[in-house]
């Protein structure tokens, strides 16, 4: 009882009639750009996570205090 090919074609025809082909092309381009930006942001977040992991392994300085690898004050 799902949507068949005929129903999808009717829906597509109605969408084209309502929005027009130029508007659909713009919407598709905008949606593609948004997806690309989202993927780039996700990759950037993974790079930030890796940098945080590396600084935790080597020890960091927090407000002038040196911390050890286990984050205990030295």
Residue 53 lies in a domain: yes
Identify the pLDDT of residue 1: 66
Number of domains within the chain: 1
Residue 32 lies in a domain: yes
Rounded-to-integer distance, Cα 6 and Cα 61, Å: 65
Identify the pLDDT of residue 2: 84
Residue 12 lies in a domain: yes
Give per-residue pLDDT as tens, 5-60: 999 999 999 988 998 888 888 988 999 999 999 999 998 876 655 655 555 555 55
Residue 27 lies in a domain: yes
Domain of residue 15: give its range.
5-66
pTM of the predicted model as reported, rounded to 2 decimal places: 0.43
DSSP string, 7-35: HHHHHHHHHHHHH-HHHHHHHHHHHHHHH
């Amino acid at each position: 009882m799902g949507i068949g090919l005929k129903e999808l074609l009717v829906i597509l025809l109605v969408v084209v009639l309502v929005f027009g082909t130029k508007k659909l092309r713009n919407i598709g381009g905008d949606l593609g750009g948004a997806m690309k930006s989202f993927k780039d942001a996700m990759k950037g977040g993974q790079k930030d996570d890796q940098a945080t992991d590396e600084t935790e392994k080597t020890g960091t300085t927090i407000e002038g205090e040196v911390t050890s690898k286990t984050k205990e004050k030295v």
